[in-house]
Amino acid sequence: MNNPEPMQSPEQNIVEQKVRRAVGINALRKIGVIVVREQQADTDKANVLRWFARYGWIVLLGAALLVAYAMGLI
């Protein structure tokens, strides 16, 4: 029977395997960079929310006092 694929040499198989491995490693590195960026963005958001939880009530109180002063209640 006719084999549509010619037999590859062992050297060719080794080269293809190394190329696939190099491409896979490169893809994993790129994915790692994306994950690190997303983790940093999540950390930044958490820090902002933590700041608002700690000091936001002071800002709201100040705004309420300004509104009360502007309306002549204080």
Rounded to whole angstroms, the Cα distance separating 33 from 27 reads 10
The predicted-structure confidence for 3-57, as pLDDT tens digits, reads as follows 555 677 889 999 999 999 999 999 999 999 999 999 999 999 999 999 988 998 8
Q: What are the boundaries of each domain within the chain?
A: 11-74
Q: Read off the pTM.
A: 0.60
73 pLDDT band, cuts 50/70/90, is: confident
